[in-house]
Chains A and B, each alone.
Chain A
Amino acid sequence: MRERQVSQGARRAREFEAFVAGAAGRLLHAATLLTAEAPDDNPRAQRLLTLSLAHTYACWDRLRGEDPYDRARQYLATRFARGAWHQYGGLGRGRPHPGSALGALAPQERLIVVLRLYEGVAEEQAAALLGLPVERVRTICDRATATLLHPSRGPAPKVAGAKVVPS
């Protein structure tokens, strides 16, 4: 019994290590895009990634065939959505780094662009994850795309209710 537990723990550790080796790079890139930090100086993105992968580690045995990458990404997105309102909004904290690709966008726009275009999540899934209507996700995505491709026009005017809905 004891031996079986030990071998199960070892197998679990091996599996998790393989998962992290495969997923950490891509997830860290996504997190760095979300927090709008420079690629070589991203403490907040690293913290976000650590928390979401630790969460995945904690529920590794209860995944039951669910995709761990999906789970980690969901946790990352909702955690960012919750934290964005408190940490990265106003107050002069967390100004986007000029070297960041998505620095011109608001946190919610970054979240939707990263989910939809970088991660390739379907519109309906992204909307369900963030608790927004599908049309709103499409609108925000289009506006963010326009802001990114035509930076000379300046950022689009803020729409009322552009806050991140906690979900």
Chain B
Amino acid sequence: MNRPEREAAVRRIMERTPPQVPPELYGEIVRRGGRMLRRRRAARRLMWLLLWVGVVAFTVWALMAHPWVEPPSETTPPLTGW
């Protein structure tokens, strides 16, 4: 028996008894798929919200703290008593 014959024989074995698809399967698929979609959408919205909150918080902090201004030097001792 060569390879194509063997493969055809295995295919015949596999195709003997096809199972019946239960009719309620479609509803279950749509229910689960819809839930997956809703969860993904919620996760995406949450991500955008967090990003937005982060940007706003950073801007507010930067405007309050002015991190680009050089802080006054603290290494030179103050000039006193001359």
* Chain A residues touching B, range: 35 or more
Q: Kindly identify, within residues 1 to 18 of chain B, every residue whose CB is under 8 Å from any CB belonging to chain A.
A: 1, 6-7, 9-11, 13-18
Chain B: interface secondary structure?
A: helix
Select the stretch in A81-89, A111-119, A126-134, A157-165 that faces chain B.
A111-119
Q: Tally of A-B residue pairs with Cβ under 8 A?
A: 80
**Does A121 sit at the interface, judged by CB under 8 A?**
no
Excluding A57-B29, A118-B14, A145-B10, 11 further A-B contacts by CB distance (< 8 Å) are: A16-B30, A24-B21, A25-B21, A29-B18, A50-B28, A54-B36, A57-B37, A101-B16, A101-B17, A113-B10, A114-B14
Could you list 20 examples of A-B contacts with CB < 8 Å? A16-B30, A17-B26, A20-B26, A20-B29, A28-B21, A32-B19, A33-B14, A39-B18, A46-B22, A54-B30, A54-B36, A57-B29, A57-B32, A57-B36, A58-B40, A117-B7, A145-B6, A145-B7, A148-B13, A149-B9
